[in-house]
Amino acid sequence: SAVISQKPSRDICQRGTSLTIQCQVDSQVTMMFWYRQQPGQSLTLIATANQGSEATYESGFVIDKFPISRPNLTFSTLTVSNMSPEDSSIYLCSVSVVGGSSSGANVLTFGAGSRLTVL
Amino acid sequence: DAKTTQPPSMDCAEGRAANLPCNHSTISGNEYVYWYRQIHSQGPQYIIHGLKNNETNEMASLIITEDRKSSTLILPHATLRDTAVYYCIVRFNAGNNRKLIWGLGTSLAVNP
């Protein structure tokens, strides 16, 4: 399965600033996703990062707030813009390869996450 | 993708089997049952999946009822490192991740 490196692992930011989170995969993958996990909550999909085109955002998430880049098949970034305390969350990068395992499972592999605290 | 229902929390003694239930009464014929877990401060980790038959791997066993409306994840000899939140998800294997519903899962505490 793919190995994902995500950084920063954690950061404390001031209100109104922006932070870019990087996701590096050790192999080429078709599907890359960005999730948010607010304190005590489950995972919410922010967007699908598409290589060579604009990301596909889920309801409630917009490009101006969460711009995403996907320059190639192994790398993506998520920027959290103009941060407020409500943006304090864990942000997770994930990849999916249908049939990528010997069992043919559609397995999501996650990075360790970036824990963001906004003061 | 169908929705699942899990108990919010469970306790298990170290060395004992942990049996984590999941209800998925609206599962369709082509949807698989997947289990993930999330250890504190880490991203979710895939455990096991199945369609109809019971499955076993090095991490766990998955028991799916004949009507497929519920399943049980079994950790045969739980250790302290198995303390985590366990998520049960149903999905089409070629399905769109945009439709996955991640509930709150079951928070399993393995006690010494």
For every residue of A12-58, DSSP letters joined together read EE-TT--EEEEEEESS--SEEEEEEE-TT--EEEEEEEPTTS--EEP
Q: Is the pLDDT of residue B5 over 80?
A: yes
Starting at the edge strand found earlier in the chain, the sheet holding A4-7 runs A4-7, A19-25, A75-80, A68-72
Average pLDDT of the segment spanning B12-19: 97
Average pLDDT of the segment spanning B81-94: 88
Which are the contacts of B9, defined by CB distance < 8 A and separation ≥ 6?
B106, B107, B108, B109
Judged by DSSP in three states, A85 sits in helix
Task: Provide the token pair at B38.
Answer: 């999330």
Nearest to A43 by CA among A93, A104, A95: A93
Average pLDDT across chain A, whole number: 91
Average pLDDT of the segment spanning A48-72: 93
| Best residue in A110, A114, A115 for a mutation probing chain B (most B CBs within 10 Å) | A110
The pLDDT, as a whole number, for residue A53 is 85
Which chain A residue shows the shortest CA-CA distance from B87? Answer: A42
The pLDDT, as a whole number, for residue B98 is 67
Average pLDDT across chain B, whole number: 91
- Going by pLDDT thresholds of 50, 70 and 90, the confidence category of residue B94 is low
Q: Which residues of A touch B (CB under 8 A)?
A: 1, 4, 6, 31, 33, 41-45, 48, 56, 58, 92, 94, 96, 98-99, 103-113, 115
- Going by pLDDT thresholds of 50, 70 and 90, the confidence category of residue B95 is low
Residues of chain A neighbouring B86 (CB-CB closer than 8 A):
none
- Going by pLDDT thresholds of 50, 70 and 90, the confidence category of residue B1 is low
Facing B97 at nearest CB: one of A105, A108, A111: A108
Facing B102 at nearest CB: one of A6, A42, A105: A42
